[in-house]
Amino acid sequence: MNKMHPNARTVTVRASRSKFFGYLGAIILCLIGWYVTSVLVDSPALPTPFETWPVLVENIPALLPEFWVSLYRVVIAMTIGTVIGVPLGLMIGRAPRADAVFAPVLFLLYPIPKIVLLPVLLVLLGLADAPKIVLIALTIFFQITMTARDAARAVPEASILSVRSLGGNRLDVYRHVIVPASMPELFTALRIGSGTAIAILFFAESIAGSSGLGWFIVDAWGMINYPRMFAGIIAMAVLGVIIYELLEFLERRLTRWRRAGIS
């Protein structure tokens, strides 16, 4: 039976405790800043946390279905973009001929804000989940492909030659050198991309949708129910934190070798 080393368990407990108190402190600071700003602005459009909290609790039954819809869209879209983008990026990063073909295309299309494609996707795919998922997946795809390409290009040739000298083939090089070496940069790109994905989700759901947190927020805004609107904003912030922490968890699981020297 595998048992966690006492020192490793202590490090894990300390890290969890530190993260908990870090989030607690951040929440307190945000609430204080929110309250002070609300008092200074003195506008119905910016209710205080004390006005928003009861509305948030009251709307939990209405928020939960929209929350799960938004979570589903983001997770599926980020998964699709990553599954397609990582192999392509790693491949063109290590293959000069493929890089010569694909890199100019990436450089040309990457700067284009993908949100401008929403009208086209709505015409082609309708108003359901598909256009929102495709839009987010496209954004993540370009970000993760560019990162994977650059990370693969940065792998030292000496590391690759060491595997080759032991009789490793191309698959062994990718498995034992390129993928592990690129993993930290890929997760950094995903964490950054998660914020972009949430922002695109909001625009897509608010402009063309009848479900999801983006729609919930804009619907409350349209009814001039600002506490309800901020309840939706809080729910979307929680969604972002969940996605971020999920990526943190996956990175810890998939890059254990980075902490191999920690006793």
Residues in the chain with pLDDT values less than 50: 1-2, 261-263
Residue type, 64: L
> What is the crossing angle of helices 60-94 and 226-254, to 10°?
40
What pLDDT sits at residue 12?
64
Rounded to the nearest angstrom, the gap between the alpha carbon of residue 65 and the centroid of all alpha carbons in its chain is: 20
CB environment 216-234: b (16+ within 10 A), e (fewer)? bbbbbeeeebbbbbbbbbb
Phi and psi at 168, nearest 5°, equal: -75, 145
Q: Tell me the C-alpha distance between 22 and 247, whole Å.
A: 18
What pLDDT sits at residue 258?
64
What pLDDT sits at residue 238?
92
pLDDT tens digit sequence for 222-254 = 898 999 999 999 999 999 999 998 998 888 888
Q: Tell me the C-alpha distance between 222 and 62, whole Å.
A: 17
What pLDDT sits at residue 9?
65
pTM of full prediction above 0.95:
no
Q: Tell me the C-alpha distance between 25 and 255, whole Å.
A: 28
What pLDDT sits at residue 263?
40
- Specify whether the CB–CB gap between 160 and 177 falls below 8 A: yes
